[in-house]
Amino acid sequence: MEDRYEVADLVVERSRGLKVTFEDGYVADFDLMRLRLWCPCASCRSLGERGEDVWPRPGSPTPLSITDAALHGAWGLVITWNDGHSTGIYPFEQLRLWSERPPDQR
Ligand SMILES: [Zn+2]
């Protein structure tokens, strides 16, 4: 794997966001809302494709926060949100690409 997709350090701030430092020294910083809106799981993606809000959903707890985060093998991170949602796996390669070119304008 290339250094640019290898993670050197990972800091999860439950009420603020996620900071990922890659082996080549690049730092990617994400706020919670963006990460939640970009959740790569099938159900969030299909909501987005239907033009519905991925967050907040009816009855969603606010403010948004991270309950838990765990490595998924060597290549990704599973984030559990405070509404119990935890099916999204965030590949480090994808985080790097999102940071370099945010997918906000879709
Ligand atoms: Zn999701």
Q: Give 97 Cα–ligand 1 centroid separation in angstroms.
A: 19
Residues 6+ away with beta carbon under 8 Å from 45:
39
Burial class (CB in 10 A: 0-12, 13-18, 19+), 9: exposed
pTM confidence score:
0.91
Note the pLDDT tens digit of each residue in 69-92: 999 999 999 999 999 999 999 999
Q: What spacing in Å lies between the alpha carbon of 86 and ligand 1's midpoint?
A: 7
Distance 51 CA to ligand 1 centre (A): 15
CA distance 38 to 98: 9
Centre of ligand 1 to C-alpha 43, Å, is: 6
Mean pLDDT of the residues in the chain:
94
Per-residue pLDDT tens digits for 24-51: 999 999 999 999 999 999 999 999 999 9
Is pLDDT of 1 > 90?
A: no
Expressed in angstroms and rounded, the spacing between residue 44 Cα and the centre of ligand 1 is 4
Tell me, in angstroms, the distance from the centre of ligand 1 to residue 22's CA: 24
Which of 3-7, 16-20, 39-43, 99-103 is the least confident region? 99-103
Q: How confident is the model at residue 106 (pLDDT cuts 50, 70, 90)?
A: very low
Second CATH level (architecture) for the domain 3-100 = 2-Layer Sandwich (3.30)
Structural domain spans, the chain? 3-100
With DSSP H G I counted as helix, E B as strand and the rest as coil, what are the percentages for the chain, rounded to 5?
A: 25, 30, 45
Tokens (6 digits) for 79: 């984030």
